[in-house]
Structure formats: C-alpha cells, structure tokens
Amino acid sequence: MIRDITIGQYYQTDSVLHRLDPRVKLLGTLLYLVSLFCFHNPAGYAVALLFLILCIRLSHVPFGYMIKGMKGIMMILMITILFNLFLTSGTVLVSFWKITITVEGLKLAITMALRLCMLIIGASLMTLTTTPNHLTDGLEKGLRFLKVIKMPVHEIAMMMAIALRFIPILLEETDKIMKAQLARGADFESGGLVRRAKAMVPLLVPLFVSAFRRANDLAMAMEARCYRGGDGRTKMKPLIYAGRDYAAYLILLAYLVISIFLGRWSVMTELLTSL
C-alpha cells in the first residue's frame, strides 16, 4: 500500500554519481530544475533530456526502479495532462461531444508532462544516489554561511536526517495499526468525507503516540551516546572536494552555458518571428 511509494529512496550501488560530493549534487539538481523552467523550445528540452539520460546512465540505478517509484504520483501527472489538454484555448484540433482539444493544449500537455517527468526524475536522482545522511551533511556544510545569521543549520540538518530515517518505520507502523483496527471491524473505505475523516482517529492517535514514544527513546539514546549539538563534533565522512567534484562543477557550468545560450536563442527566434 503506502509502502510502495519508493520515490527517491536511496539505491545502494557504486557509481560516479554516488561518490560525488553532495554539495555538487545539491547545486546541480537546483540548477537543473531551474533550467527546466527556462526552456521554451524543443532544442532546450533535448539538451535537458540528454543531460538527464547521461546522469541516469552514470548513476547505475536501474531505470525500472526509478519508474516504479513514480507510480505514486501518476495521479498528479494525469491530472496535469488532462487539465492542460482540455482547458487550454486556441486553435481547435479535434472536437467531440463537450470536449475540445486545441493545438496549444496538446503542445502544453506534452511539454508539461515532459517537464514534470524530468523534474521528478531529476530530483529523485539526487536522493537515489545520496544517502540521506550524506545529503544532510551536504546541506549542513553547504549552508554553513547561514550560521552567521543565527540559523541553527546543524540542528535542522540533524532533524532532517532523523525524519528520513524514521519515515519507513512509521509507514510500516501505519500499515500495522491500520490492519489491527481493520481486525476490530474498523472501516476506512466507505462513507462520506466526514465519516472517513472520523475513521482516521483510531489510526492517527496510536500513530502519534508511537511517534512521540520513539522520539523520546531516540533522544535518550542520542544523549546516552554523548550527543550535545554540533559544536566540537567531528565527522566520520567529512566533505572534501575531490578531482571528480571539480570536474562535475565544470560539466555543470558547461550545461549552464549551453542552456543559457539555447534560452537566449529561443528568445531571439521569438523576437525574430514577432518582427
């Protein structure tokens, strides 16, 4: 059920992408996502797609595994496509019954679907190849400059790491409690919205109680292991840039240059056609 949503859960293997410094991956992902929204022409999409395919190949994560994780968000994708397909006005392509599909709508639906897919795969590629701990390390070190303005960067990173660690455990727990209440004759599926919301109480109360109990236990376990915040703490896996990280930055720069160029080019062609 809920456990089937594996979107972006770390995939254990060894690849260049896995070994890359998380700061590179964070910045790279950010740049990639931004670039997706800058493109307005097929050439731009082609470059972005090519770049993505290259990264997927480099990651050694099976493509099937990535796609499987996307099942959960298929709904959102379908809705986006349908909305764009039916609700965009413009030149009519086909029209039957009460439904009209326009050329613009079709174009928009395709680009939106493509963009969304690339967005999700691009973002999940980072989490697929980076352990959450590594990721939070990257955030902690990458955002260290925010400490100057009294941002508790270490604490936030630690909270994220813990949250990520406990998500699968709590999901499993939800499943278990749900089954236990089903065995007591609970009904989570029928009835109107209010009734369904009410039916969630026997699920949510035990879940919260359990989450608090776990939080309490964990805090105790952390203190027992001498945890006292970020000061004076050393790192088992300190982040040090290696040659490949600089190379990756270079590649990112190249990608950035190409996308800006293509973006400009599209703006220029638009200008030309409008003239």
Contact footprint for another protein (CB under 8 A): 10, 12, 68, 131-133, 161-162, 164-165, 168-169, 173, 176-177, 179-187, 201-202, 205-206, 209-210, 213-214, 217-218, 220-228, 232-238
Is the Cβ of residue 12 or residue 91 nearer to another protein in the bound state?
12
DSSP category for residue 57: H
Is the Cβ of residue 44 or residue 69 nearer to another protein in the bound state?
69
CB of 204 to another protein, least distance (A): 8
CB of 183 to another protein, least distance (A): 4
Give 155-162's long-range contacts (Cβ < 8 A, gap of 24+).
155/229, 155/230, 158/230, 160/132, 160/135, 160/136, 161/132, 161/133, 161/136, 162/218
In angstroms, the CA 52 to CA 55 distance is 5
CB of 8 to another protein, least distance (A): 13
What residues contact 112, with CB distance under 8 A and at least 6 apart?
Answer: 80, 81, 84
CB of 175 to another protein, least distance (A): 11
Q: Is 8 left (phi over 0), alpha (psi -120 to 50) or beta?
A: left
Is the Cβ of residue 94 or residue 226 nearer to another protein in the bound state?
226
Dihedral of alpha carbons 244, 25, 34, 103, sign: positive
In angstroms, the CA 115 to CA 84 distance is 13
Is the Cβ of residue 57 or residue 233 nearer to another protein in the bound state?
233
Question: E strands, the chain, where?
Answer: 92-96, 99-102
Is the Cβ of residue 21 or residue 109 nearer to another protein in the bound state?
21
CB of 236 to another protein, least distance (A): 4
